Amino acid sequence: MDQMAALKFRSVDLQSPRNNQEHHTQEMGLKRLVVRRGQSFLLQLHFSRPFHFGTDYLTFVAETGPAPTELLGTRATFSLTQARQGNFWSASDFTIDTNSLFVSLFTPSNAVVGPYTLKIEISQGQGHSVTHPLGTFILLFNPWNAEDDVYLPSEILLQEYIMMDYGFVYKGHERFITSWPWNYGQFEEDIIDICFEILNKSLYFLENPSKDYSQRNDPVYVCRVVSAMINSNDDNGVLQGNWGEDYSRGVSPLEWNGSVAILRQWLARGRQPVKYGQCWVFAAVMCTVMRCLGVPTRVVSNFRSAHNMDRNLTVDTYYDQNAEMLPTQKRDKIWNFHVWNECWMIRKDLPPGYNGWQVLDPTPQQTSSGIFCCGPASVKAIREGEVHLPYDTPFVYAEVNADEVIWLFRDGQAQEILDHNTHSIGKEISTKMVGSAKRQNITSSYKYPEGSPEERSVFMKASRKMLGPGRASSPFLDLLGSRGSQDQPAQLQLHLARTPEWGQDLLLKLHALRVPDRVHPRGPIRLVVHFCAQALLHQGGTREPLWRQTVHLNLDFGEEIQWPLLLPYDNYRNKLTDEKLIRVSGIAKVEDMGRSMLVLKDISLEPPNLSIEVSKRAEVGKALRVHITLTNTLMTALSNCMMVLEGSGLIDGQISKNIGTLVAGHTIHIQLDLYPIKTGPRQLQVLISSNEIKEIKGYKDIFVAAARVSS
């Protein structure tokens, strides 16, 4: 063949299996090219004759977005060179093998992430060029690369916060924390496409598509957009929130097992918000999206989380003389728990020292720059009270640090401070422990120890920044020195006399101890204690009272009394929310003395236990027998029971099964076969919901081996 004949393009091999393996994207599949920025990947080009460097010229063009330009960073043009130079798009380090050319393409560590098209222009000397499409690839953030803003220098942490596709969300109450298994499923083959579709439906994109794409190189920008798009308050985001109790138009937030079904439903139904979500669902779906895009992410639960809308760092709660917690028109609340995300990144927009974990909260609580999103707020800035640093740091600071003021409401107004708690908010801040199914308490990364000089000093600094110098003498700051519980003639505590179980009577004990005070230093006192029990709502409110009792006590000095209290099942049956939480409150008044005392006890009722066992070894493509057992320990039947199984790498999508009614005291045994799809550590999630209880959950960790090759 004539050596100087025109070089004609024949075909390309994008080497997807090899490249994806080297770029830690093999879990997304091997059929298409998915690579991470700041790292080379290999192509094999086939031509009509051997390539001659110096006379044959190859120029590559990579483009992303609706109107790619080099100025905006959405188009790159780069010629084949012998060696790579600097943090730029390049094609270099090539080898020639007869009519094939192996070439290494490099993407800069600050490149825009997203789906790209790749073309090649072939020319000889000054002659005309011919352009050929080479195909498409997806470019992601690269936390393995030291030059990337999301660089995380620990393989153990990367395996957890990027590669782990299941985990736990922590829910419930600070004293009854439950681990809620969740299937993130970020490597299911269609999820990456859905993630970029989410970005393409944001208000930022719709307003200015080219500008939006050009900013997708910045993890601060991308995670802020995702935070807005997971909820649907401003846009056709992924999830619609619902904090009522009517889920008849959709799915109860308690009935989701994972993110995959939610994301697929959003796409399949024309990008319409999926019904319904609450905080843990919003945060778990955001974790899926951010891990998929390549940003190290974890889900964090804050117990007794303040929702402080007026930014005064106090949340007021009101009780009447009969110990009933009263509804309030104020938007300030203390949620039993709230769930958000932390994403790992460098903050070039902040002063030095605020890199690392950043809070992002996709639950729609308040607007930020006019849109319902929250963060990124540096966890280090929150700990140090640097509430002036963006984004939304004052709101997150208040969630973990606000003070609680409890008032006695009488004759139409708040008349007496029952308690002022400086340490009741921001408890047991939790995330999944790395490489373990255990819970990790990370409260110390958000604040100094409660009551320490550092904690109060940071609180005063933050409060003065948030209130402003003109409000430094506000009633709130005057309260800081007060302690509502000091100088009381008795100490009161409520304890559970036995483990509370749903469907059983609840037995409590009031412990009352007579102690000296200024008014009654030694003598006996008479106490009247009004008790009230109410269903406790997730967002901190309560329902109407379901039980009341009044107790009269005579206490001599130094005397301790234990008084039993019985809360019958019939009183709370059909009165609780899906969360199955009860608040028992007591207001004690000393006869012949004006002061009142408050005693509180929150009770979490355990659902029946679900058992999951698997037979022998799990192997790709081979039947795996699963045994599921549920005993109804309640005094009532569970009706309309529905079982849903999910688990990335074990099941494609979900398996649903109607299992009817489970009579009180009876046990149901279910057997079924799964055919695992992927190797490695996997988790099977099982949810059984009924009319009576929405959330009987269980999980089983399963290691799947590769299929054995038959000889």
Residue count of the chain:
711
Question: 3-state class of 608 per DSSP?
Answer: coil
CB atoms within 10 A of CB 354: 21
Whole-number Å distance between alpha carbons of 268 and 470: 53
Among candidate residues 24, 173, 307, 338, the one labeled active-site is 338
Q: What is the DSSP letter of 518?
A: S
Whole-number Å distance between alpha carbons of 609 and 631: 7
* Residues 6 or more apart whose Cβ sits within 8 Å of residue 25: 34, 35, 36, 140
Structure tokens at 387: 């509430």
CA 272 to each of CA 109, 232, 630: distance values in angstroms, whole numbers, following the listed order: 34, 9, 36
* Residues 6 or more apart whose Cβ sits within 8 Å of residue 501: 605, 606, 633
CA 122 to each of CA 3, 60, 668: distance values in angstroms, whole numbers, following the listed order: 16, 9, 68
Task: Please return the burial class of 544, using the count of CB atoms within 10 Å of its CB with bins 0-12, 13-18 and 19+.
Answer: exposed
| Strand residues in 26-113 grouped as ranges (E) | 33-36, 41-47, 56-63, 75-79, 90-97, 100-106
Element (H, E) at 400: helix 393-401
Q: What is the DSSP letter of 483?
A: -
455 is in an annotated binding site: yes
Query: Residue 442 carries which side chain, given as an amino acid letter?
Result: I
450 is in an annotated binding site: yes
Give catalytic status of residue 195 as yes or no: no
* Residues 6 or more apart whose Cβ sits within 8 Å of residue 390: 349, 350, 377
- Longest Cα separation, the chain: 116
Residue 341 · residue 297 · CB < 8 Å: yes
Among candidate residues 165, 361, 419, 602, the one labeled active-site is 361
Among candidate residues 195, 279, 287, 641, the one labeled active-site is 279
Locus of tokens 């999301």: 150
Full 3-state SS string of 292-337: HHCCCEEEEEEEEEEECCCCCCEEEEEECCCCCECCCCCCCEEEEE
Residue 483 · residue 422 · CB < 8 Å: no
Whole-number Å distance between alpha carbons of 513 and 523: 13
Closest CA to 403 of 540, 331, 308, 319: 308
Whole-number Å distance between alpha carbons of 496 and 564: 10
Whole-number Å distance between alpha carbons of 188 and 183: 11
Whole-number Å distance between alpha carbons of 141 and 111: 9
Whole-number Å distance between alpha carbons of 360 and 224: 7
401 is in an annotated binding site: yes
Whole-number Å distance between alpha carbons of 667 and 656: 19
Give catalytic status of residue 316 as yes or no: no
Q: What is the DSSP letter of 159?
A: I
CB atoms within 10 A of CB 213: 25
Whole-number Å distance between alpha carbons of 460 and 547: 41
Give catalytic status of residue 338 as yes or no: yes
Question: 3-state class of 676 per DSSP?
Answer: coil
CA R_g for the chain: 30
Cis status of the peptide bond prior to 446, with omega within 30 of 0: no
Structure tokens at 364: 């729609």
Tell me the binding residues for Ca(2+): 401, 403, 450, 455
What are the catalytic residues? 279, 338, 361
| Residue ranges of the binding site | 401, 403, 450, 455
